[in-house]
Structure 1
Amino acid sequence: MRDTIDFGIDLGTTNSAIAVVQDGDVFVVKNNDGWDYTPSAVWIPKPGVTNVGRSARDRIYKGNENAHAEFKQEMGLDGTVREFKTAGISLTPQQLSAEVLKSLRDDAAAQFGEPPQAAVITVPAAFRLHQNNATSEAAAIAGFGACPLVQEPTAAAFAYGFQNESAEAYWMVFDLGGGTFDAAVVSTHEGELRVLDHAGDPHLGGKLIDWAIVDRVLAPAAAEAFGLAEFTRNNPAWKLNFMRLKWAAEEAKIALSRLEKTIVMVDLDINGETETFEYTMQRGEVDRVAEPYYIRAVNLCRDALANANLNPGDIDRLLLVGGATLAPGLRALLADSKTGLGIELDHTQDPTTVVARGAAVFASTVALDRPKIRPVAGEFTVDLRFPRTTSLRTVPVAGRFESATDQDWTRFHVVLDNPEGKPPFRTPQVTLDAEGTFVTEVQVDEQTASTFSVKLVGQNGITEKVTPATVTVTHWLNEPGGAVLTNSLGLSEADKSFASILDKGTRLPATARKIFHTTVALHRTDPDAAIRIPIVEGENDRGDRNLQVGLIEIRPKDVRVDLPRGSDVEVTIEVDESRRVTVVADVPLVDEQFEADIDLSNVQAPNLEDLERELREVQERLDQLRESADKSGSQPAQARLDQLDEERRVSQAKNEVRAAANDDGAAAAADQQLREIQSELDKVEKEVKLPGRMTDLKTVLAHCRELVSRLGDADDRAELEEIERRTEQARREPDSATVNELYTRACALETVMMKRDGTLDISVFYYYRENQHKLTSPVKARALIAEGDEAIAEQDWRSLPGINSRLRRLWPADLPDPSEGGVTSHKNGRRR
């Protein structure tokens, strides 16, 4: 009977596989076809008949409408289904994935006599919460119990490293699969295998390369050969032909991993007649088409390295994972230190099954959830606590015995015995305490599984029957680290910025909290008022560039007193090992807690009109920023724009938007790509605005110097000197993040000095006056501005704070607060 899960599943876009750890080694479970992997395809020709794998995949590319594949990218999208017309049913991506999981489970049952109770299932590192949730749902539908999830590059690292003899090393996993790309920086240190950082794209993989070959090579050639108009993928009239071309592109790509050229032959349906399209494809053509995708993957690797504070030269090996890494063109690019990474390539593991093998390695560290065994008369049970796997040679074992009758446990002792050990090992006799518990240590053999019999001996010297009767500990050179958070979680603030609370890569389970302040007042007399706190997931600086996964709402009926603007709200985010998320907002003023509504089952694919509008906005913004970057001469801005061009990001987004008309997976991919492009353009915009921000900084510093010279103390002078020193450095080495930080510090110092001088209220008023067109009530604004002008004319300084307070209520919540500095007018900065 197994104590640990032991089975690992790579649930892939194109192919899936299951592996198992047995007697300290890892094996791939073959399917009925004798293959190490099963195509992730489902064919339902009639009610009650379901086929998974090779036969289903073959039907798809013959145009059978009762077969489907590549549904992984649609996981977690509410309302997305695939139809099986003859069978008269529709299945969600989760249900389709469950059929693949059932097939793998049946393969394991055929080999081991019973289906596995649970398995560790892999997910892309860049999968969102709703996609992870959908994967767990698919496992439950397939009949599995609780299935831990592990990231695909992490699993691959486990497969490479669990018996690797490198005492201390850095590796990078390069995982280019059928539909996703993941990169992970991994370290082995003191017997632990840890993921230091990861980056990825859940919509970058071999599937995109296949479609690019179709769109840029095969389809244009076929259109020219047969004189076809509007022969494009988004034209429903040519759907069957494009599926056949997609199949041919995939087969040709695989063949060109071994050959310099191959002949593509496809039967196309042209005006009701079957015509054979023939094309000789060269390896160089595939490399040219695939190059932008390769470059995108390399740049993501560089991001992961930078986040881990490492360079390519620090990495010992680049571990290749995924069928797409078999391409010679990709391997040559990766090996080049200029265009690629220049890290030594390691392809000693089968790239198509290494993720499943690594998942099994991790599975062997996870105990099965078993019901508690109750002892029967004359027998004993023991609840044991020990590490199932370890990188140590000596490990603790603790336990507590139970009996159906009362016992004087101090009359018993326990011995753990491994006569097969090298050398044989036996613990000393350990007397139980009054509660029937014990603690001892065992020595395990290196790089193998050591099994110890549990012997309970009574006062009369009789060895009692005990369940379970053995303890098995497997020794590895590198112990897998625990699960980590896939993407950062936090809030989208009123000014659209993203405030991370739990950062990507945090070990699970994890809890973190931060204090925020409300930007609007909540009056109990206003039933339509609300404070809304969006919970978002992602890594982009702007909250609305990330994915909203939940919402906290506070309404007047929920509080006993009015909440003034600026009230404290403490937000706590908790994520358990199964990635279940709980978010609570605590409002101390009313002593109330509000829990976020986290609905991961209601994420929908964006509609085509929204995507097309976003694409137009991206194209217009890109053109404007190109012009601005040229005028400003900003090299960092130009470098970012060049990288977008090099990766063909906008062109790829256009293709996905076109395909989104008939493909929810493409719609999700387009949505994410457009968000990422917008986020990159945000950074370009910051770089373009950097010279102007430097000018603003110099202006504020000049004012600070004048104020500090009159009013400052030693601490103020030290702060000013530090800001000026770093400003001079920033002038020589411009960096938008540094300049913004210095500007914020300078504004804070200026505000403190102006409060001390009594001129802050004057400056704030003039800022409101200059920006009164932004105030929400023009009539009230004009009256307050007139009142302020009169107060200044009469030097009635005491009235200004009240006037500013009333103006502040008319100030939009999503704009910076003038009273906090940095946006104040310096007109009449001193009292007259």
Structure 2
Amino acid sequence: MRDTIDFGVDLGTTNSAMAVLDDGGVAMVKNNAQSDYTPSAVWIPKAGVIQVGAAARDRLERDPENVQIEFKQAMGFADVRREFTRSGLSLTPVELSAEVLKTLRGDAARRFGEAPAAAVITVPAAFLLNQTNATSEAAKLAGFTAPCPLVQEPTAAAFAYGFQNETSSAYWMVFDLGGGTFDSAVVSTVDGELKVLDHAGDTSLGGKNIDAAIVDRLLAPAAAKELGLKDFRRDNPAWRRNFAFLRVGAEAGKIALSQSGQTQVMLDLQRGDGQPEMFEYTLRREDVDQLAWPLYRRAITLCREALAKANLGPSDIDRLLLVGGPTLSPSLRELLADPAEGLGIRLDHSQDPSTVVARGAAVYAGTVALPRTAVAPKRGEFTLELSYPPTTSLTSVPVSGRCATPGGADWSRFRIALNDPARRPSYRTAEVTLAADGTFTVDALLADLARNRFDVELMDPSGARVPVSPDSITITQWVNEMTGQTVVNSVGLTEADGTFTPMLLKNTTLPAKANQPFHTTVTLRRTDTGAAIRIPIVEGERRRGERNLAVGLIEIRAEDLRRDLPRGSEVQMFFEMNESRLVSVVAEVPLLNEEFDAVVDLNTRTVPDPPTLRRLMNEVEARHEQLREQVEVTRSDRARGLLMRLDDQGVVPSVREEVASATTDESAAVSAEARIRGVQAELDDIEEELRVPEVLERVRDQIEHCRDLVDRVGAEEDRTELADIERGYAELQNTRDVPAAEQLSEQALDLQVRLLRRDGSLDVEIFNALRASQDRMSSPAQARELVREGERLIATSNWPALPSLNRRLRALLPDDGRGTPNSGIQQERK
């Protein structure tokens, strides 16, 4: 009987695999074909017949209407269904993934005589909450009866490399390029603890992107020309079968190029009249490398970002651990080894890149105890509540517990010991007398780098052994202990000004809690029918909330209030995430003595429709070109560098291709939406960099104005504050941080206003600004009359009357088009 989960599953885009931790080592659970991995493909030729794996994948060319592949990225979207034409069935990506998991579970049942109750299942590091939630749902549908913990794919790979690795102190980086996703992670092994320091990833970057590029830019144009195929596009349903053939050929050709410089792609394609014709194409490694180069550069950039967040550089990393089938590419390995273009870190491919994630998941599974069903003991039966580490890097550990039996017993006359008869030489702990309440602690010595299985021996007052449940425990001793689950992506809220404020930070160990005070930005009156303060809950790492994924919303509605809520009222936000990554968010309003819960529904997200994606893509391309022109005009080196990085990775053209594929492929639509948000965020950075000179000039002018005012009417505390602002301005010359500059500008403006009030000239400044805008006012004639009156007030030094006149002028200003202030919450800025 197993004490820990022990089984690990790599649920992949292209292939899936299961491994098991057994007898202190890790082994793959082979399928019926005696292969270590199973293609993530489902074939339903008719109702009641489902085939998963190689048999399904082999049918893709002959029966594409009844085979489904690459459904992993579409998990977590409520409106996605994959059709099987002949049977009339349609399955969701969750249901399809469940079929793959069910097959792997069946493979384990055939080998061990019983299907595992649970398995640790891997997910990409960049998977969002709705996608991880969908993975858990798939595990339930597959028949796992106990909760299945999820672990990030690069973390699992690190566990596989770190398991029994005796390096005392080192830094590693995982480079995990899979079929549909890319993940990188920075890992440390220090004093027996294996810890992920930071990670970065892209759920839309993988081997399938290379396959798609081969099809779209090489094979499809050549086939259309050679065979005379009209309107030959991926999104044309008439050519769906041909594109299925080309996709298979592209993948097979790419794999063959790992061993040779060129290969022949030979396929039977359908002509327009439905007749087959042979298509032959010579696929060359250099052509594929050219297509893959921008994708490789994107992956390398993500690695560098993960290193920077961990405050490390490539020279600090001892080994680059290669994971995923595409890392077999000689060109990619050559690029990664290059310190200038790649990372320059020593490559380690000692593990099979196709199975290493499953192996690492099994290693982690050995640290997770299986839930035991509590059974009430009968009279004369003895039960134990035990506490001990399932895995440890220590050579001696305490095993604590409490013994119980109906009616109780004189426990001080009972003794307990742990016995490992299989060890050579055999080992048994010292016998320990139980305390009067039935508690005990036994110290057990462990065999190094081994799975230690102990029989629990409970002796009654006569010295005879009595049956006890559980009657055995297992403790695995290994070199590196694994840290627990972490927050995959930061979760927080969008403030009223659009800023994203993370509350549960990425890489925080789970379970995690956080709370922080905010303040309302508008007054909410009970009589304001339909009015509400809305607090969006979002997931991601982008600075602007709209560039992240919305996962929930808190609404404080006027109609629900017992009294008015003034602007500036405190709102205390509480965030919590458990080890299963379930999130709860509560807003507490002390003034009302009320709490408002967030609605976090991860099962309602839908795939964006193609027209929306095309519109968003057009906006991205227009903005991209506009910023390119501005970069050339301003000659900002930093902005030019950001733009070149974006262009070098070929992101915008590749997203356009995914948008084109969205008509027939919902996975492409999901990927395109996420990548459009990413491109917009990168364009935000370029735009912000272009604003740096303007913002710095404004702050400089404000500082000069403040200097004049401080000289005239300033006190000592004003001089001190001005000196702080000047130091902040000096730092901005190097950091060029626009948000920080805007904050400094606000601080300088506050100082200006206080000094102008003291000087008596604030109302004159306001009047002069309004006078400059009189031609834009709703009634120019009335505005001119008020301006003349204001000039008289100033000439006669009638200062008390000037504020009232300014209010009358301000009322004539046109609506700026922005409407009412954003109703939300904001941090208190200092």
TM norm. shorter chain > 0.5 = yes
Write out aligned runs for 1:533-552 (5 A).
533-552=535-554
CA distance in 2, matches of 1:557, 1:66: 52
Pair 771,73 (structure 1): closer, same or farther in 2 beyond 3 Å: farther
2:814 aligned with 1:813 = no
2:661 aligned with 1:659 = yes
Q: 1:712: how far off?
A: 4.6
Match of 1:695 among 694, 697, 710: 697
Pair 475,701 (structure 1): closer, same or farther in 2 beyond 3 Å: same
Which range is displaced more, 58-67 or 723-732?
A: 723-732
Alignment-derived partner of residue 825 in structure 1: none
CA contact (8 A) 1:788 1:800 kept: no
Alignment-derived partner of residue 255 in structure 1: 256
Alignment-derived partner of residue 99 in structure 1: 99
CA distance in 2, matches of 1:62, 1:709: 85
Write out aligned runs for 1:343-362 (5 A).
343-362=345-364
Alignment-derived partner of residue 309 in structure 1: 311
CA distance in 1, matches of 2:200, 2:406: 54
Q: 1:429: how far off?
A: 3.2
Aligned residues: 818
2:236 aligned with 1:232 = no
Match of 2:518 among 509, 516, 519: 516
Alignment-derived partner of residue 177 in structure 1: 178
CA contact (8 A) 1:452 1:470 kept: yes
Q: 1:428: how far off?
A: 3.4
CA contact (8 A) 1:185 1:195 kept: yes
CA distance in 1, matches of 2:746, 2:291: 45
CA distance in 2, matches of 1:31, 1:772: 81
CA distance in 1, matches of 2:772, 2:522: 22
SS of residue in 2 equivalent to 1:245: helix
Q: 1:370: how far off?
A: 1.6
Pair 778,109 (structure 1): closer, same or farther in 2 beyond 3 Å: farther
Write out aligned runs for 1:148-227 (5 A).
148-227=149-228
1:813 counterpart letter in structure 2: P
Pair 629,385 (structure 1): closer, same or farther in 2 beyond 3 Å: same
CA deviation map 1:777-816 (0-9, x unaligned):
999x999x99996998642279669969x98999742499
2:41 aligned with 1:33 = no
CA deviation map 1:190-239 (0-9, x unaligned):
11111111111001000010010011111111122123332221222211
CA distance in 2, matches of 1:108, 1:788: 90
Q: 1:686: how far off?
A: 0.9
Q: 1:763: how far off?
A: 5.8
Alignment-derived partner of residue 123 in structure 2: 123
CA deviation map 1:225-254 (0-9, x unaligned):
123332221222211111100100000000
CA deviation map 1:507-526 (0-9, x unaligned):
11001112222222211112
Q: 1:418: how far off?
A: 3.3
Alignment-derived partner of residue 380 in structure 1: 382
Write out aligned runs for 1:168-567 (5 A).
168-271=169-272, 272-421=274-423, 425-567=427-569
CA distance in 1, matches of 2:308, 2:3: 40
Alignment-derived partner of residue 671 in structure 2: 669
Q: 1:719: how far off?
A: 4.1
1:232 counterpart letter in structure 2: R
1:312 counterpart letter in structure 2: P
2:480 counterpart letter in structure 1: N
CA contact (8 A) 1:492 1:533 kept: yes
CA distance in 2, matches of 1:250, 1:150: 28
CA deviation map 1:115-141 (0-9, x unaligned):
000111000000010000110111111
Q: 1:321: how far off?
A: 0.4
CA contact (8 A) 1:454 1:466 kept: yes
2:612 aligned with 1:604 = no
Match of 2:800 among 788, 796, 806: 796
CA contact (8 A) 1:234 1:661 kept: yes
CA contact (8 A) 1:180 1:204 kept: yes
CA deviation map 1:468-487 (0-9, x unaligned):
12222111111111111111
CA contact (8 A) 2:521 2:824 kept: no
CA distance in 2, matches of 1:429, 1:559: 65
Q: 1:59: how far off?
A: 1.1
CA contact (8 A) 2:767 2:790 kept: no
Q: 1:435: how far off?
A: 2.0
CA contact (8 A) 1:40 1:70 kept: yes
CA contact (8 A) 1:791 1:797 kept: no
CA deviation map 1:319-352 (0-9, x unaligned):
0000010011110110101110000000000000
CA distance in 2, matches of 1:335, 1:94: 38
Write out aligned runs for 1:49-60 (5 A).
49-60=49-60
Alignment-derived partner of residue 141 in structure 1: 141
SS of residue in 2 equivalent to 1:65: helix
Pair 732,192 (structure 1): closer, same or farther in 2 beyond 3 Å: closer
Which range is displaced more, 538-547 or 431-440?
A: 431-440
CA contact (8 A) 1:16 1:38 kept: yes
CA contact (8 A) 1:44 1:67 kept: yes
CA distance in 2, matches of 1:792, 1:561: 43
Percentage identity across paired residues of the two chains: 53
Q: 1:420: how far off?
A: 4.7
Match of 1:571 among 567, 570, 573: 573
Q: 1:449: how far off?
A: 1.4
Q: 1:182: how far off?
A: 0.5
CA distance in 1, matches of 2:589, 2:130: 28
Alignment-derived partner of residue 67 in structure 2: 67
CA distance in 1, matches of 2:453, 2:579: 28
Alignment-derived partner of residue 594 in structure 1: 596
RMSD: 3.0
Alignment-derived partner of residue 649 in structure 1: 651
Write out aligned runs for 1:596-635 (5 A).
596-635=598-637
1:234 counterpart letter in structure 2: D
Q: 1:398: how far off?
A: 0.8
Q: 1:707: how far off?
A: 3.3
SS of residue in 1 equivalent to 2:65: coil
Q: 1:749: how far off?
A: 4.3
1:20 counterpart letter in structure 2: V
Which range is displaced more, 756-765 or 211-220?
A: 756-765
SS of residue in 1 equivalent to 2:94: helix
SS of residue in 1 equivalent to 2:58: helix
CA distance in 1, matches of 2:391, 2:200: 28
CA contact (8 A) 1:417 1:452 kept: yes
CA contact (8 A) 1:762 1:800 kept: no
CA distance in 1, matches of 2:663, 2:770: 47
CA distance in 2, matches of 1:505, 1:572: 19
CA distance in 1, matches of 2:6, 2:387: 18
CA contact (8 A) 1:552 1:597 kept: yes
Q: 1:405: how far off?
A: 2.8
CA distance in 2, matches of 1:423, 1:604: 61
Q: 1:159: how far off?
A: 0.4
Which range is displaced more, 707-716 or 359-368?
A: 707-716
2:326 counterpart letter in structure 1: A
Q: 1:633: how far off?
A: 1.0
2:12 aligned with 1:17 = no
CA distance in 2, matches of 1:523, 1:769: 35
Pair 821,48 (structure 1): closer, same or farther in 2 beyond 3 Å: closer
Q: 1:773: how far off?
A: 12
Alignment-derived partner of residue 828 in structure 1: none
Write out aligned runs for 1:768-783 (5 A).
none
Which range is displaced more, 465-474 or 614-623?
A: 465-474
Pair 765,486 (structure 1): closer, same or farther in 2 beyond 3 Å: farther
Pair 409,618 (structure 1): closer, same or farther in 2 beyond 3 Å: same
Pair 374,260 (structure 1): closer, same or farther in 2 beyond 3 Å: same
1:523 counterpart letter in structure 2: R
Pair 221,717 (structure 1): closer, same or farther in 2 beyond 3 Å: same
Pair 235,405 (structure 1): closer, same or farther in 2 beyond 3 Å: same
> Structure 1: 5+ residue runs without aligned partners?
823-832
CA contact (8 A) 1:761 1:801 kept: no
CA distance in 2, matches of 1:260, 1:295: 22
CA distance in 2, matches of 1:748, 1:436: 68
